[in-house]
A and B are shown apart, each in its own frame.
Chain A
Amino acid sequence: MENLLTLAFTSFLVQNIILNQFLGICSFLGVSNKRSKAIGMGLAVFAVITLSSMLTWAIYYLILVPGELTFMRTIVFILVIAGMVQILEMAIKKFSPSLYGALGVYLPLITTNCAVLGVSLLHVQNNFTFSETVVFAAFTSLGYTAIIIVFSYIREQMYRAPIPEGFKGIPAGLIAASIMALIFKGFVGLI
């Protein structure tokens, strides 16, 4: 139990997926300029990462390892993720049109979000058990969601700042992210 708590804390703050592992940067920079977009994308990523890593864990240890097909993991994982996103999109569209309105646009984009494939590859690399994988995936993606939402607030404020023309937009965003990464370095001392 203690082990799982440490893992949750580490994956949420210390090894934050955006600020420390550099996964999902494209969507982080692309979507964080508006709060509503950031919230929608964050929740969609949370759902997809948690579900897909459970699925890839099962496939890896129940099919690929016994069949000695582990060298195929990149291809299998990306297909599983793409298929799962498609099914999730159809399911949400059918059962909850209002949720589809909020998340629907972000779902197709998630297939090519490196955070999703990244988490699946990382739990294999670290030889996590199933419960560890669930905790790791849930808190890593929550870390993504938290950062992208906090960052959208910062970027909304940056519109009013007198930034030199060449640094407006992405360069200023990257520099702000650098300061945030420095702050998150402080969490290393906590465990």
Chain B
Amino acid sequence: MSRKKKRLTPKQNILKGLIKENPTFVLVLGMCPTLGVTTSLENGLGMGLSVLFVLMLTNAVIASIRKIVPDEIRIPVYIVVIALVVTLLEWFLNAFIPSLYDALGIFLPLIVVNCIVLGRAEAYASDNTVVDSIFDGMGMGLGFTLGLSTLAFTRELLGTGSVQLLGFTLFDANSAATFLVQPAGAFLTLGLLIGIINTVRIDREKKKQAILDEKIKIALAKKAAKEAAKKKQLEAEGAN
């Protein structure tokens, strides 16, 4: 429990979840809702924000009870906490946003077994302070929301020709690739998005490496030149 880690500032914590460890595109966690509800931007955003809420609350609760819970039974305790929070969210959505409750369907109670939520509880909130854990949950939740919205936006735009939430139409629904809003399209869009992001990342890393190599080469050449000059000087002195 006393692992020494560098403490991240809130901003770094949020950026980590949003980009560097994005749950959808980098960690590839929580795939079931990612594929299941992203037929429209509205649903994708709703699911993302629901998970954001659950993550922040469960991280806060688990971080605050982390010193009381015995190590052996921590996982069942975490699951009960998460199930409670998700049930609260279910009641809330059922009462105030019934359209979203219906659209998310079975994927709403399934947030309980979403690997991101339990994963963050185990990997972060179990040995960090309450405030840090809330920011970690916020970062991860925002990252998940970003991933879901990107996927949902792409699928809705190309699959139906318009995005209802933003109220704009790109092309006529008759010429849209309806295939993309069907199950097969979910797999394809996500596969392509992750692939493209990976390619860009690998490309950037290679470029960075190339620049680094170049710098090392120049430094080595400079050093060699310096040594050669020194040698020459010594030789010249020796000759004298």
Contacts and interface: CB of A to CB of B under 8 A. Distances in A.
A25 B198 contact: no
Interface stretch (B44-52, B56-64, B75-83, B130-138): B75-83
A117 B188 contact: no
A24 B87 contact: no
Interface string B176-205: 000100111111101110111111111000
Contacts, number: 127
Interface stretch (B110-118, B158-166, B208-216, B221-229): B110-118
Nearest to B90: A74
A113 B36 CA distance: 15
A153 to B, nearest CB: 18
Given A166-B198, A174-B187, A21 B87 contact: no
A166 B184 contact: no
Contact of A78 (B79, B91, B198): B79
B32 A166 contact: no
Q: How large, as a class, is the contact surface on chain A? A: 35 or more
Given A112-B113, A114-B32, A178-B185, A166 B196 contact: yes
A71 B32 contact: no
A177 B183 CA distance: 10
Interface centre among A20, A164, A177 (most CB of B within 10 A): A177
B184 A79 contact: no
B109 A74 contact: yes
B55 interface: no
Contact of B106 (A125, A171, A185): A125
A22 B196 contact: no
A187 to B, nearest CB: 12
B212 to A, nearest CB: 19
Given A22-B186, A74-B109, A117-B112, A166 B80 contact: no
Interface in B75-102: 76, 79-80, 83-84, 86-87, 90-91
B31 interface: yes
Contact of A113 (B90, B113, B185): B113
B109 A165 contact: no
Interface in A20-64: 20-26, 29
B79 A82 contact: yes
A75 to B, nearest CB: 4
Q: How large, as a class, is the contact surface on chain B? A: 35 or more
Contacts of B30: 26
Nearest to B76: A82
A92 interface: no
A121 B110 contact: yes
Contacts of B183: 19-20, 22, 181, 185
A74 B187 contact: no
Nearest to A112: B113
A24 B185 CA distance: 18
B195 A117 contact: no
A79 B113 CA distance: 12
B106 A122 contact: yes
Contacts of B200: 166
Pairs of residues from A and B, 7 with the lowest C-beta to C-beta distance, nearest first? A166-B199, A174-B191, A178-B187, A171-B195, A166-B198, A181-B184, A25-B31
Interface of A: 19-26, 29, 71-75, 78-79, 82, 111-114, 116-118, 121-122, 125, 164-167, 170-175, 177-179, 181-182, 185
Interface of B: 28-36, 76, 79-80, 83-84, 86-87, 90-91, 106, 109-110, 112-115, 118, 179, 182-188, 190-192, 194-202
